[in-house]
Chain A
Amino acid sequence: MTTQIDPVTTEIIRNAFISIAQDMNATLIRSAYSPIIYEGKDCSVALLDNHGNVLGQSLGLPLFLGNLQVCVQLTAELYGWDHFRPGDVFLMNDSYMTGTHLNDITVFAPIYWHDKLVGFSASRAHWLDVGAKDAGGPMDSSEIYQEGMRWPPTRIYENDKPREDIIELLRRNGRFAFLAIGDMNAQVAAGRTGEARYRGILDRFGYDTVMAARDEIFRQSEQLEREAVRAIPDGVYHAEGYIDNDGLGNQPVPVKMTVTVSGETMEIDLDGSSKQTRGPVNCGFAQTISAARVAFKLLVNPSRSVDGGTFKTLTIKAPEGSIFRAQEPAACQWYFTPLGLLIDLFVTAMTPAMPEKVAAAHYGDSMVIFLAGVDPRSSLPYLAVEPTPGGWGAYHNGDGQDALINNVNGAFKDLPIEVYESKFPVMIHNYHIRTDSGGAGEFRGGCGLVREYTVGPDSYLSLWFDRSVTPAWGLYGGGSGQGPDVQVLVPEKDEQHLLKVNVKPIPAGTVVRTHTGGGGGYGNPFMRDPERVRMDVLDGYVSREAARSHYGVVLTDELRVDAAATKQLRAQ
């Protein structure tokens, strides 16, 4: 097994693996049925070798980074590597195996070449509904059994033919079954794309050469990562924060992190974080590993593709029975809320070691709103699910971005108002920047936004907004961003402020006005160039009052900088 490989062939094969993963991803996104996949890009694909190591992965949803292989490996652990047969396709979503919530369905298939198992195609995509007690998934579950159907690794294709009984079982156990089966077909198609192209590589170069290239590619990735970690000063770094609650009204849930950098290795230890909660903010360890890898990748070789040589320098620890390593029957629906915080905390923890690479905290969570009911135009049920963008943190030489989707989400795009109103019996009369929501600083935190829904028919509202207890914090004297807020205005009733609610009935004409938080600022706001503060006022990111109170910048009625007054105010 010591096939010699030259650098040219290695590089050709490496590029091909990356290209294959991109093609698989394109197939999945373009043929998926649910907006959450094709618009939200809530999916990921990978080409794996015959041991489940990543040959190529598309950078889809960050949170799915590097945890598709685990599905193949756990299946093999359960049933043995001889369990796989040509023409098989498997499906699974067990949270304690895959790590995420039950809505995330992993589909994978063994790939054969000349009767030999040579690898796997795998994809994961968020299905709109998997038959939880509430449409789309509950905000208040306390056991996984309330969150939908739970599948161990199960064959959905045998001998290249769909197993109609199993597919019928899937179809009968979720709302919007047509979408689910469409998405499943898209996942199978993505796998076929990967299979065909991988076989093409093997036809051209032969198995031994491709495997020798794989070993060399993994070696390169590992070496690059070791070099990058070695460049980070050795030390022990800490950070901690809280998510608001577990969704069942309980106390803030702590997340604690210790990062130890020693030579070429890094360890992320989550000891001290909350025990698993009754409410649905738990996840399987596979997902914690994934989130830690996302955090790591934000600061270490971010633009490099991921393969089986990546993440070898990184170890991750979480206590058994904690929210990060939950056990049956812990509820997992909103597993990503602590993970988004984990990522922000990692970036903050590393600030002393790499101040020019980090940024202040961002608005923090997906800020999800569900509206459901019956559309009077078609008399059919409707379910509108969307996350909401918010402000990102500022950094050493730039302002945080306004209204940008959160870190655990992928290339999500908001649903255009014209599309939203055509698809759902809801109008969006306000969609705008939330002035003054970004943390002040020499570099300003990005602003969150306001998105306001007016429901046509009687409907149901579910909300999952978090990070009000520890809103986006600043760095080096920068201020915190504002936290989230949701106003519910029922006609002829008092205004209510809510952040989390499950399937609340709201009558026709109710206005739900969501506010997302801003990002943290970076550096002392009094150091900010007054002219930039003035521009922010002209653009409406900062109010004239906040220019004075937060930045010490006095503007005239014509909105010009009053230099003398500014100097005086800043000197106080």
Chain B
Amino acid sequence: MGYRVAVDIGGTFTDFVLADVTNKTTTTGKVLTTPGNAAQGVMEGMRQMIADANSVDFFVHGTTVGLNAFLERKGARVLLVMTQGVSDSYTIARGDRKTLYRVQYRKPERLVPRRDVLEVRERLRWDGSVLTPLHEEDFTPIIEKIRAEGIQSVAVCFIHAYVNPVHELRAREILKAALGDSISVTLSHEISREWREYERASSAIMNAYIAPIVERYLQSLEKELAGFGTQTPVHVMQSSGGVIRAKTAREQPVHTLLSGPVGGAIGCAALSKATGRKDMIGVDMGGTSFDMCLIIDGKPGVSNETEQQGLPLLLPLVEIHTIGAGGGSLAWLEAGALRVGPQSAGAVPGPACYGRGGTQPTVTDANLFLGRIGTDARLGGWMQLDYDAAGRAIHSVATQLNLSDIEFAEGMLSVINAKMADAIRTITIQVGIDPRDISMVAYGGAGSMHAVWLARELGIKEIIVPWSPGTFSAWGMLQTDIRRDLTSNFFHRAVDTTSEMIQSVFNRLVEEGSALIREEDVADEDIYFAMSADIRYIGQEYVVTIPIHAPYDIAEIDRNFHVAYKIRYGHSTPGAPLEFVNLRLTAFGRLDSEIMGFQPNADAGDPVKGVREVYFDGVKMQTTILNRDAMPIDTHYEGPLIIDEQSATTVVPPGYVVHVDPLGNVIITRNQS
């Protein structure tokens, strides 16, 4: 028995979490991210934290290599091949405007220019039957172009291939036969088995665009780890919340694209299980954005579609909602009114207190000015904070509003907190959840600085600050299973559907899913499945995905749909005709992911580090500063408090109490006495 290791590469830091399976302890660490070749930073951390490379039993990795290639538009040149006559579906991009009042509107910048979109003759009908067979000779000029121009990556998207992939599969054979393994070929139906050709093409292109980069990176990492002596295969976090082996990730790297913030959501789900709290909201506040995730009945929401920079992706992904609010959010004036965000000071110049030339007050400046961050804090571990610069920035705006500096600083925080609370209201109301009934998990650098105020606005009774909130996402990666998602188009009216029809589709999907999970070296007894169906009222477009299970009783599915619909939308129409759109199977491979609590550091000494003056509601209060590392399990403290630790600061105002639970989590509740 050895270590289970999670490594999460962020913009600034690469986070490490080590679970020691023998001694049942967990430790964390951080190194600077190495932007050129992220594997370097990973290896540096591994060498620092692990003495015996052989003791690593499990290695999981969250990577932003693919996402960065996309955001910086440094992916591979991709050729798109589509059905003759309709290949401009990609260029037209459905013709919508995402900003309504702009005569100088520009569409989102696509990854493939029109000149790299090529056509072949072939056509399927809506039911998958062949209208025009694939004209194989049409690939000849395409192959010539690929050779002549040194293109590495091709995406193929044929109309109705989600029903019948026969032509797409043949297209790959033709391309591979002519070009060998040097060419990366992405087929749209393998990325998504859903209708809508623009969205499917866009998803396939994204895969093709990042494939060569992710491939190179994972190869280099595997080589380095092998050189270090680690025997265990590399696992990669997917946007869906499950992990896969690196060799699978290389085939469909698009599934790793948005894995970054997913670890936090999985961590929340794990906390939900470990602490017996069914519903939770996770909040992660960083420098520029505020991420939220909902855990309902122990599970994070998984949606099947998203947009990145205006480009659609049909992928299973853990639902993370983001608004532009963070430590860098700027306060500004307009028509004599106060606004906070969404503009951000970014990294440069950053908040005024960074001393890099910023003069407008940010949320971080307000927190520092009010004493909620100590001047001795090293934000991100290295930044020396300039209290006077924060004060000057705040004073310059406060006077224009005839507010005292303290009123203004607290007012800024009130505005940004209310915005974040509104965003939480939006996501909870939309799924019929009352926030008052759930617990809040606060993580990330600034989440636990604001959490109590968010909870207060929303009537949330309890806040959980996990151990080492700054590395919580990496910790979450250790708590998940192998996961593959399979979809089958199943476009049938409910009245025409029988249990047997559903069963036969799932028989096929279970077989395919089992094979995929076995490829990940999972034993048969550790394979398990979840089935669900996309259903809607006939005539609607949006579906509601509901869990279903054998023996797939249609009447029961019907009833459950109306209930789920009513929860989601506040009304339903029992008796109205339904139709199925897709059947979905999620295949899991169970990993040993026992949760091990954190133990305070016995050598850390007295948890009380000192006392500082901190403002709460305009009142200056003597506030105890605690060292998180030294807070023993099952102890209690009374606010006002500031809890410091390496990666985060937790602010507990008066009227709230803190309890350290057996897992090492800090639980904040309203003082009842």
Contacts of A421 in B (CB 8 A): 125-126, 160
A551 close to B (CB within 8 Å): no
0 or 1 for each of A433-470: is its CB under 8 Å from B? (1 = yes): 10000000000000001001000000000000000000
Contacts of A189 in B (CB 8 A): 569-571
With A and B bound together, what is the CA distance between A113 and B317 in angstroms? 40
B92-A433 in contact (CB<8A): yes
0 or 1 for each of A1-40: is its CB under 8 Å from B? (1 = yes): 0000011101110111001001100110011111100110
Complex: chain A residue closest to B194, CB-CB: A418
Residue in A7, A35, A182 whose beta carbon sits within 8 Å of that of B537 in the complex: A182
With A and B bound together, what is the CA distance between A59 and B539 in angstroms? 25
With A and B bound together, what is the CA distance between A200 and B422 in angstroms? 11
Also in contact, A38 and B105, with CB within 8 A (given A197-B425, A419-B195, A539-B115): no
Residue in B86, B100, B101, B576 whose beta carbon sits within 8 Å of that of A417 in the complex: B86
0 or 1 for each of B392-424: is its CB under 8 Å from A? (1 = yes): 000000000101000100010011001100110
> Which stretch of B48-56, B106-114, B251-259, B604-612 is in the interface?
B106-114
Contacts of A395 in B (CB 8 A): 103-104
With A and B bound together, what is the CA distance between A185 and B569 in angstroms? 10
B216 close to A (CB within 8 Å): no
> Which stretch of B21-29, B337-345, B351-359, B552-560 is in the interface?
B337-345
Contacts of A313 in B (CB 8 A): none
With A and B bound together, what is the CA distance between A299 and B414 in angstroms? 33
A62 close to B (CB within 8 Å): yes
Residue in B86, B160, B539 whose beta carbon sits within 8 Å of that of A179 in the complex: B539
With A and B bound together, what is the CA distance between A160 and B661 in angstroms? 47
Contacts of B96 in A (CB 8 A): 404-405, 411-414
Interface residue tally on A, bucketed by range:
35 or more
B106-A398 in contact (CB<8A): yes
Question: Which residues in window 143-162 of B have CB below 8 A to A?
Answer: 159-160, 162
With A and B bound together, what is the CA distance between A179 and B536 in angstroms? 13
A193-B425 in contact (CB<8A): no
0 or 1 for each of A382-409: is its CB under 8 Å from B? (1 = yes): 0000000100110100100111110100
B491 close to A (CB within 8 Å): yes
Contacts of B107 in A (CB 8 A): 401, 404
0 or 1 for each of B81-121: is its CB under 8 Å from A? (1 = yes): 00001111101111111111111111100000111000000
Contacts of A303 in B (CB 8 A): 99, 101
CB distance from A22 to the nearest CB of B (A): 7
A431 close to B (CB within 8 Å): yes
Contacts of B89 in A (CB 8 A): 416-417, 431
B37 close to A (CB within 8 Å): no
With A and B bound together, what is the CA distance between A6 and B411 in angstroms? 9
Residue in B95, B125, B430, B491 whose beta carbon sits within 8 Å of that of A414 in the complex: B95
B663 close to A (CB within 8 Å): no
A193-B570 in contact (CB<8A): yes
B198 close to A (CB within 8 Å): yes
With A and B bound together, what is the CA distance between A186 and B540 in angstroms? 12
Question: Which residues in window 519-567 of B have CB below 8 A to A?
Answer: 537-542
Contacts of A197 in B (CB 8 A): 425, 429
Contacts of B196 in A (CB 8 A): 416, 418-419
A31-B571 in contact (CB<8A): yes
Also in contact, A193 and B103, with CB within 8 A (given A12-B418, A422-B491): no
B426-A416 in contact (CB<8A): no
With A and B bound together, what is the CA distance between A298 and B97 in angstroms? 13
Contacts of B199 in A (CB 8 A): 416
> Residue among B95, B102, B426, B568 with the most chain A CB within 10 A?
B95
Complex: chain A residue closest to B430, CB-CB: A26
Question: Which residues in window 136-194 of A have CB below 8 A to B?
Answer: 176, 178-179, 182, 185-186, 188-189, 192-193
Complex: chain B residue closest to A61, CB-CB: B100
B336 close to A (CB within 8 Å): yes
0 or 1 for each of B562-599: is its CB under 8 Å from A? (1 = yes): 00000011110100100000000000000000000000
B541-A35 in contact (CB<8A): yes
> Residue among A12, A186, A395, A539 with the most chain B CB within 10 A?
A12
Also in contact, A7 and B401, with CB within 8 A (given A12-B415, A15-B422): yes
Contacts of A133 in B (CB 8 A): none
B335 close to A (CB within 8 Å): yes
A230 close to B (CB within 8 Å): no
Interface residue tally on B, bucketed by range:
35 or more
Contacts of B334 in A (CB 8 A): 220, 224
Contacts of A15 in B (CB 8 A): 415, 418-419, 422
> Residue among A8, A26, A347 with the most chain B CB within 10 A?
A8
Complex: chain B residue closest to A540, CB-CB: B114
Residue in B93, B102, B430, B539 whose beta carbon sits within 8 Å of that of A298 in the complex: B102
Complex: chain B residue closest to A35, CB-CB: B541
Also in contact, A19 and B422, with CB within 8 A (given A27-B570, A395-B103): yes
A431-B92 in contact (CB<8A): yes
With A and B bound together, what is the CA distance between A541 and B88 in angstroms? 12
Contacts of A427 in B (CB 8 A): 125
Also in contact, A10 and B337, with CB within 8 A (given A392-B105, A539-B114, A539-B115): yes
Residue in A27, A297, A398 whose beta carbon sits within 8 Å of that of B569 in the complex: A27
With A and B bound together, what is the CA distance between A449 and B335 in angstroms? 44
With A and B bound together, what is the CA distance between A539 and B411 in angstroms? 53
B105-A404 in contact (CB<8A): yes
With A and B bound together, what is the CA distance between A32 and B540 in angstroms? 7
With A and B bound together, what is the CA distance between A430 and B159 in angstroms? 12
A359 close to B (CB within 8 Å): yes
Complex: chain A residue closest to B114, CB-CB: A539
Contacts of B415 in A (CB 8 A): 8, 11-12, 15
B104-A398 in contact (CB<8A): yes
A62-B100 in contact (CB<8A): yes
Complex: chain A residue closest to B101, CB-CB: A302
Contacts of A32 in B (CB 8 A): 540
A59-B429 in contact (CB<8A): no
With A and B bound together, what is the CA distance between A419 and B197 in angstroms? 9
Contacts of A566 in B (CB 8 A): none
0 or 1 for each of A217-232: is its CB under 8 Å from B? (1 = yes): 0011101100100000
CB distance from A67 to the nearest CB of B (A): 15
B126-A298 in contact (CB<8A): no
Complex: chain A residue closest to B536, CB-CB: A33
With A and B bound together, what is the CA distance between A410 and B98 in angstroms? 9
> Residue among A26, A35, A193, A404 with the most chain B CB within 10 A?
A404
CB distance from B27 to the nearest CB of A (A): 41
Question: Which residues in window 523-540 of A have CB below 8 A to B?
Answer: 538-540
CB distance from B329 to the nearest CB of A (A): 13
A428 close to B (CB within 8 Å): yes
Also in contact, A220 and B336, with CB within 8 A (given A298-B103, A411-B100): yes
With A and B bound together, what is the CA distance between A179 and B541 in angstroms? 12
Contacts of A219 in B (CB 8 A): 335
Question: Which residues in window 192-229 of A have CB below 8 A to B?
Answer: 192-193, 196-197, 200, 216, 219-221, 223-224, 227
Contacts of B94 in A (CB 8 A): 413-414, 416
Contacts of A404 in B (CB 8 A): 95-97, 105, 107
Mind listing 28 A-B residue pairs with CB under 8 Å? A7-B338, A7-B403, A15-B419, A19-B426, A23-B426, A26-B426, A26-B430, A30-B542, A31-B569, A33-B539, A38-B541, A182-B539, A182-B540, A197-B425, A220-B337, A398-B106, A404-B96, A407-B103, A411-B100, A416-B197, A417-B89, A422-B126, A422-B195, A427-B125, A429-B86, A431-B86, A433-B88, A539-B113
- Interface pairs A-B: 10 shortest CB-CB: A389-B95, A8-B411, A302-B101, A432-B88, A31-B569, A413-B94, A19-B422, A359-B103, A12-B418, A539-B114
Beyond A182-B540, A418-B159, A449-B92, 11 additional pairs, beta carbon < 8 A: A15-B415, A16-B422, A39-B541, A223-B335, A347-B103, A403-B91, A412-B96, A428-B86, A430-B86, A431-B86, A540-B115
Query: Which B residues are closer than 8 A to A by beta carbons?
Result: 85-89, 91-107, 113-115, 123, 125-126, 159-160, 162, 195-199, 334-340, 401, 403, 407, 411, 414-415, 418-419, 422-423, 425-426, 429-430, 491, 537-542, 568-571, 573, 576
